[in-house]
Amino acid sequence: MQLKTYQEDAIDELLDKVKKALNTADGKKLVFKAPTGSGKTIMMAEFLKQLVDDKEVKQPLSFIWTAPKKLHIQSKEKLDNYYEKSRTLECSYFEDLSDRKIDENEILFFNWSSVNKKGTNTIVKENEQEFYLSKVLERTHEEGRKIILIIDEVHYSAGQMDKKEKSAALQLRKDIEPSLTIEVSATPILAGDYEVSVQTEEVKKEAMIKKSLILNPDFVNVFKDGKIKTELGKDSEETVIKVALEKRKELIKSYQKEGSKINPLLLIQLPDRKGQREDELKDKVIKILKDKFGISTEKGNNKLAIWLSGEHINKEDVEKNDSEVEVLLFKQAIALGWDCPRAQVMALFREWHSPIFSIQTVGRIMRMPEPDRGKYYKEEVLNYAYIYTNINDIVIDKDVAPGYVSFLTSKRKKDYEDINLLSCYSKRHREKTRLSPRFIEIFLAQAKTDSLKSKIDKTARKVDIKIISDYKANDIDTLAGSKIRGDKSITVSDSDLQKLFDYFVRNSLRHFYPEDRSVNRVKESIYKFFDKELKMDYSERWEEIVKIVLGNDNPQHFLNVLDKAQIEYKNETAIREGELTKLENWNIPEILSFGSDYVEEDKQRGVMKPFYVNYLSKLEKSFTEFLDKSGKVEWWFKNGDRDATFFAVPYNDNKTPFYVDFIVKFKDRKIGLFDPHGTQFSDFGPKSDGLRKYIKDENKKNKNLFGGMVTNTDEINYNGRWVYFTENSKEFKKGEFKNWIDLEL
């Protein structure tokens, strides 16, 4: 699995802080906060693997992983899959424990709430065989192992417990006596001694989650006194379902334009409460779907799936991106921890009782359906999720990232014609010290150049390690690295083979620090080589592949290619370091969404309708009014200041993007680029020069651009002339406007 940059960074920080915690007094707590959709379980899995492999960690470790509901089962399945080849850690349920204790590098999984049933639960109930939790913990401690307790979805565990249950939970933590507790959540409740956080913006940069969730698009939504009132609030359940299904159809067309087979799913979430009203609502929704929209669970239709307590219909393959199911009827309590990335539209009804939208409500539609793309879709509508509801007085809970749920939607005017500007944005370059996916391409190319396929012995299957009979080695890494010679061969087990392969790869990283992410990148390169050149799938023939790599004279052939590939990679990344990523043919976004800190203004010539704004200065506001009054202006766009969504020109020696505030289309077809920028700011000169150079360079390509830094000669009330600066910044003189050009609109 190829980890994202923010995942690698979080794992590094987790490893660093946990190692510090283990070297202090027992009983510390670490809080790991990561947004829904960021891959918390995968980050934890890789972190635990690196922790037990870390040579600096001298203490033997055992682990307990607890979670609410049945989430611990889902987590165990994910970790079992993650450790399938390496077998770095063993994942067990209580009944799987050997010798009635938790072994070193073993994770015990169980349901957190089970501790509240001391009288009946077999895990905690005392028995003659002395096979119950407290005795298991006692034996584990007696063997000198430190226990790390992991509490997954801790916010749910704590939030759903009454006083008695919380007391029992605290008692369990006391009984376990963990050296360290790691609480994992998108919304932790309490702080810890150590904290590691993944920011929502970092996850969005990797296009793992939607840009935002849009509430009731195309309906008037008003924010007042911390609550959202919606025009849809006066409509029926049928209307809510109708507009949600219309959005689903729109998404299908956009996926088809992208060449994707995603079948977007509409989630209809019913209240968790049980009673006559809730049953009547369920029956009503099912009837509407069938009678009005031809969607049912019936054989031959199968467009509706139901996931309710005791009622599972058509649910088997609903998570698959191309599933024929179009609508899923479910309840939140059942769906805790459930992942279905194609879920993109949600419908909620006023009978839902609670007007508070928490992360547990909206989290089901946050994920992107194809996260391996690593970028958002060109069809902008696909980069958002949509909620339709007739609930009024909606409150966005504080556990949802500020601004992530947008209820003000603005669309580009329909008669807009593409302007196709060259834009740029920052892309972090971490390749200087670590291998990126680009290394795989370089390795495969070098393997072709060196004829690696023809040089290696493809029949090699035997890996022998010659040792002298009385030599003792506690670690296969030590054994593989030694230069001891002998004539006694040993049989290499699968786990030893994995460690020998790890050692070989680490030893090959002559030009890079052999951190885990670079080691994994080299492994992936080798696996790709076998898949592409020898049609050997690593997931099916891993042992054969590793034995070929390590057999006979083959290691040297692989080392030769790896060494040349690293040199090529280092040379290439040295050139790329510090460069901005160019974006050809940038155009005004088709759709933008805003939260409670934006207000609507009536602007006739704005390209986005309606126009929502949050002015950063009076100068900016005055310039907007100036543009909107002009008869020469066809349209104008107030630009944003983030990623590739918005327009930027390079400045500061092409190292930094400058997001120019206004793009203006004139009726004579000229494009104006203007930035109302206070002349007192230190970056005035560099930004002015960057914009000046950009306009000059692009006009050589037959673009029709003009503009520059813009201000008003009355720098207090903005009642003077609007002027813009096109000279070299060396010609700028503060407080003087002789060499500025009048902007006469």
**Contact predicate 348/269, CB 8 Å:** yes
CA distance 503 to 473: 15
CA distance 347 to 593: 19
Closest CA to 54 of 24, 84, 16: 16
**Contact predicate 391/147, CB 8 Å:** no
pTM over 0.85: no
Predicted confidence (pLDDT) per residue in 612-637, tens digit:
999 888 999 999 999 999 999 999 99
CA distance 260 to 197: 33
Which sign, positive or negative, has the C-alpha torsion 202, 205, 209, 215?
A: positive
Closest CA to 112 of 77, 70, 62: 70
Phi, psi (degrees; rounded to nearest 5) at 544:
-60, -45
CA distance 605 to 624: 10
CA distance 730 to 734: 11
Amino acid 497: pLDDT: 79
Q: Which stretches of 393-475 are DSSP H helices?
A: 438-449, 452-455
Is it the case that residue 599 has pLDDT exceeding 50? yes
**Pairing relation of β-strands 304-308 and 327-331?**
parallel
Instruction: Give the three-state DSSP class for 360.
Output: helix
Q: What is the mean pLDDT of the chain?
A: 85
**Pairing relation of β-strands 227-230 and 327-331?**
unpaired
Which sign, positive or negative, has the C-alpha torsion 372, 377, 380, 382?
A: negative
CA distance 109 to 83: 15
Phi, psi (degrees; rounded to nearest 5) at 147:
-105, 130
**Contact predicate 350/233, CB 8 Å:** yes
Q: What is the mean pLDDT of residues 558-580?
A: 80
Amino acid 545: pLDDT: 92
**Contact predicate 366/209, CB 8 Å:** yes
* Whole-Å CA distances, 359 to 36, 229, 597: 8, 20, 20
**Contact predicate 590/381, CB 8 Å:** yes
Q: Which two tokens stand for residue 172?
A: 């369990």
Total count of residues recorded for the chain: 745
CA distance 424 to 585: 11
Predicted confidence (pLDDT) per residue in 469-496, tens digit:
333 334 444 444 443 333 444 455 666 7
Most confident of 170-174, 439-443, 474-478, 721-725: 721-725
Amino acid 121: pLDDT: 61
**Contact predicate 321/306, CB 8 Å:** no
Is it the case that residue 91 has pLDDT exceeding 60? yes
Q: Which two tokens stand for residue 141?
A: 């401690």
Is it the case that residue 467 has pLDDT exceeding 50? no
pLDDT band for position 671 (cuts 50, 70, 90) = very high
pLDDT band for position 712 (cuts 50, 70, 90) = very high
Domains assigned to the chain? 5-204 (3.40.50.300), 207-406 (3.40.50), 438-576 (no CATH), 582-742 (no CATH)
Amino acid 715: pLDDT: 84
Is it the case that residue 513 has pLDDT exceeding 50? yes
Which DSSP helix (H) or strand (E) runs through 111? strand 106-111
Rounded to a whole number, what is the distance in angstroms from the first to the last CA of the chain? 56
Which range, of 214-218, 423-427, 716-720, averages the lowest pLDDT? 423-427
Which DSSP helix (H) or strand (E) runs through 127? none
Q: Which two tokens stand for residue 414?
A: 């329909």
Phi-psi region of 238 (alpha: psi -120 to 50; beta: other; left: phi over 0): alpha
Amino acid 354: pLDDT: 67
Q: What is the mean pLDDT of residues 703-721?
A: 93
624 CB neighbour count, 10 Å cutoff: 22
The DSSP line for 213-280 is EEESTTS-EEEETTEEEEGGGGS-HHHHHHHHHHHHHHHHHHHHHTT-----EEEEEEPS--SHHHHH
Q: What is the mean pLDDT of residues 233-241?
A: 90
The amino acid occupying position 728 is: N
Q: What is the dihedral of CA 627, 632, 633, 634, to 10 degrees?
A: 160
Amino acid 721: pLDDT: 94
Amino acid 486: pLDDT: 36
Phi, psi (degrees; rounded to nearest 5) at 73:
-70, -45
Closest CA to 293 of 301, 124, 599: 301
CA distance 638 to 620: 10
pLDDT band for position 561 (cuts 50, 70, 90) = very high
